[in-house]
Amino acid sequence: MTRGNQREIDRARAQARAEKNAGKKKEKGDGNQAQKLSNKKEADAEIMRKKQQAAAEKAAAQQAGK
């Protein structure tokens, strides 16, 4: 091996870094992406239902006016 024990040293350093950062909270993203996505989908669906209802009422009023 040309690297000698450098791999072992690097593994030990990586393990030490992992243990040091294990308790820290990730700052990017909070892990609730799935919950946020489902909430957004529900909100968007409600908006679309309101739009469809308004369009149906408009169409019904237009048919009644003829």
Beta strand extents in the chain (DSSP E only): none
Task: Judge whether 59 lies within some domain.
Answer: yes
Task: Count the alpha carbons within 13 Å of 64 in the hemisphere toward its beta carbon.
Answer: 6
Q: How many domains does the chain have?
A: 1
Task: Judge whether 51 lies within some domain.
Answer: yes
Task: Judge whether 52 lies within some domain.
Answer: yes
Task: Judge whether 45 lies within some domain.
Answer: yes
Task: Judge whether 29 lies within some domain.
Answer: no
**Rounded to 5, what percent of the chain is helix, strand, coil?**
75, 0, 25
Task: Judge whether 11 lies within some domain.
Answer: no
Task: Judge whether 61 lies within some domain.
Answer: yes
pLDDT-derived band at 4, boundaries 50, 70, 90: confident
CB contact set of 41 (below 8 Å; sequence gap of 6+): none
Task: Judge whether 49 lies within some domain.
Answer: yes
Greatest alpha-carbon pair distance for the chain in Å reads 90
Task: Count the alpha carbons within 13 Å of 18 in the hemisphere toward its beta carbon.
Answer: 6
Q: What is the pLDDT of residues 11-46, one digit of tens each?
A: 999 999 999 888 776 666 666 777 888 899 999 999
**What is the average per-residue pLDDT within 40-53?**
96
**What is the average per-residue pLDDT within 44-52?**
96
Most confident of 15-19, 51-55, 62-66: 51-55
Instruction: Look up the domain containing 66 and give its range.
Output: 38-66
